[in-house]
Amino acid sequence: MPMQISITFLCLVLLALANGSYAGQIVIYWGQNGNEGTLMEACATGNYDYVIIAFLPTFGKGETPMINLAGHCDPQKNECIGLSSDIKSCQAKGIKVLLSLRGDTGSHSIDPSEVATYLWNNFLGGQSSSRPLGPAVLDGIDFDIEGGSNKHWGDLARLLKGYGMMGKQSKQVYITAAPQCPFPDAWIGNALTTGLFDYVWIQFYNNPPCQYTSGAISNLENAWKQWITSIPANKIFLGLPASSQAAGSGFIPSADLISQVLPAIRDSAKYGGVMLWSRYYDVQSGYSSSIKSYV
């Protein structure tokens, strides 16, 4: 009898391992290609734990904020409010949906209080008569800052967190960021030291000094170790292109990711999973499906 129990227990353990014992999650950016399918379709795949709506590129500098979702909808015609039902569908599946701020041109000198108030009232738990994505309440804000100014992003994160705690429903506002892998990041680096960021998905692509090249993992591994020991975020994610066409360099074939890269970083206490750019390229390549069981 003891031997039978041991064998049964071993079988259960092996079954659990076979069904995926890894704690990692997958993040996807959606919104920059009208041919990538709907947001609801993306969430229906079951492959993603976080979907980042990209982007809100126009904000601050006295400009009227304006989202840009490529061919999906025209915000100037108020078409994007139709996404509200998609967002709620995703959230009903337990998927967190965030809005990404894209900063890569101009000075982007922001008044953090003004921007935080706008984001809270128009995308999060506040009230506005002109919510671009309709009444759905997003789960947080992503900072994809790749140019402009490196000032005030920490202040903006702090104000957004504060709004979340003051909300009537006291819903957590997730704050995330997508820095480049050279450390420290030139634009968002200072803000990341605040400890306000829940998740950081680092772009290990288009950055040869710290990305993977065929058979050579040391550059990526060294950069990864520096990030996880230096940034007080809850979880750090490995940001990758979802296909070789999605970035100029840094694509990791799924076989290499599974056999070489993930085993080298997955035991980190702060390891969160993999971020992919973007849903359009993932549709073409099937990348998330090929790695999901190993993340």
Tokens 């993932």 correspond to what residue? 282
Distance, in Å, from the CA atom of 227 to the CA atom of 222, rounded to the nearest integer, reads 9
Residue 126 is predicted with a pLDDT of 93
pLDDT at 24 over 80: yes
6 pLDDT band, cuts 50/70/90, is: low
Across residues 131-160, what is the average pLDDT? 95
pTM of the model: 0.91
Residue 17 is predicted with a pLDDT of 45
Query: Of 41, 114, 146, 221, which one is the catalytic site residue?
Result: 146
Residue 149 is predicted with a pLDDT of 85
Percentage, residues of the chain above pLDDT 70: 90
Q: What is the mean pLDDT of the chain?
A: 91
pLDDT tens, position by position, 263-295: 999 999 999 999 999 999 999 999 999 999 999
3-state secondary structure of 290: helix
Across residues 227-233, what is the average pLDDT? 97
Give residue 21's Cα distance to chain centre.
Answer: 22
Nearest C-alpha neighbor of 122 from the set 135, 111, 113, 109: 135
Across residues 193-213, what is the average pLDDT? 97
Across residues 225-249, what is the average pLDDT? 97
Across residues 64-78, what is the average pLDDT? 95
Q: Give the residue with greater pLDDT, 203 vs 62.
A: 203
For residue 114, indicate whether it is catalytic. no
